[in-house]
Amino acid sequence: MTPLEIVQVAALEDNYFYIIHDPISGETALVDPGREAPIVAALEQKGWHPTYILNTHHHWDHTDANLSLKERYDLKIIGPAADRGRIPGIDIAVGEGDKVYIGDCEASIYFVPGHTKGHIAYYFDAAEALFSGDVLFSMGCGRLFEGTPDEMWHSLSKLMKLPNSTNIYGAHEYTVANSIFALSVEPKNADLVTHAAKVKQLRADNIPTVPTTLGLEKKINPFLRPMSDEIQEHLGMIGAPLPAVFKEVRRRKDHF
């Protein structure tokens, strides 16, 4: 296993920014920094100097500190090629199949449109770490602001092929609200019932529910479970194509 150290930084109402540090090379990357001050405070506490920003998509709460952090630290900004014109200060544009490195630690780029047209995710194989931005959350997925249900289902299907041990570092603390909706479409799912109670207690104690694991999400996340007999029955879509079931689950969540 890689020695990568990952620090989670809570900011705004419910965002998580991440700091990835390779202790061997000293290289450090900031994932989706929407605010400068909490990132700088966390870096100073660790004594780290950032070398890169890794952006997943263009939304302001993931990119607002790009330029100020670039000026402060003279770092390089990596972001989605498909969104190059909307990523402030981008230096290196990447897409599906490209690789980025923090020291010798390699991340594969996954093109995962749906939430936005240009969204990407970063998967560090050796660290079993996926930085999913706003595509995949615990018990949820991102709203379809720019993409289609078919695009999002294709993107999630791609990520579902990663190892079940993958740690998913989503960009928001939406888990309690997501669990309430998940229970509304699959109330007899024992794994879901158990985990929903756990996350409710974690948040009551002000403990993050992120990261989660892909193996767990396959058991409890309704957006990864259109094949569930209970979900299909609840929706009146028994035997329907999985993209159609996913589309209906997303529609119901949008109006929940």
Q: What is the percent of the chain with per-residue pLDDT over 90, rounded to a whole number?
A: 98
pLDDT, tens digit, 9 for 90 and up, residues 242-255: 999 999 999 999 99
The pTM (predicted TM-score) of the whole model is: 0.95
Cα 130 versus chain centre, distance = 7
Is residue 61 part of the annotated active site? The answer reads yes
| Torsion angles phi and psi, residue 85, rounded to 5 | -70, -10
Say what the pLDDT of residue 3 is. Answer: 78
The domain total for the chain is 1
Say what the pLDDT of residue 237 is. Answer: 97
Say what the pLDDT of residue 1 is. Answer: 52
Q: Which two tokens stand for residue 124?
A: 């560090």
pLDDT, tens digit, 9 for 90 and up, residues 104-115: 999 999 999 999
Which is nearest to 40 in space by CA: 11, 60, 15, 61?
Answer: 11
Q: Which of the following is catalytic: 57, 58, 195, 234?
A: 57
* Domain carrying residue 111: 5-254
Q: Which of the following is catalytic: 21, 22, 83, 115?
A: 115
CATH code of residue 107: 3.60.15.10
Q: Which residues contact 26 (CB under 8 A, 6 or more apart)?
A: 48, 49, 103
In this structure, are strands 76-80 and 92-94 parallel, antiparallel, or unpaired?
A: parallel
| pLDDT-derived band at 200, boundaries 50, 70, 90 | very high
Give the pLDDT mean for 81-91.
Answer: 96
Q: What angle do CA 75, 44, 120 make, to 5 degrees?
A: 45
Q: Which residues contact 146 (CB under 8 A, 6 or more apart)?
A: 113, 115, 116, 117
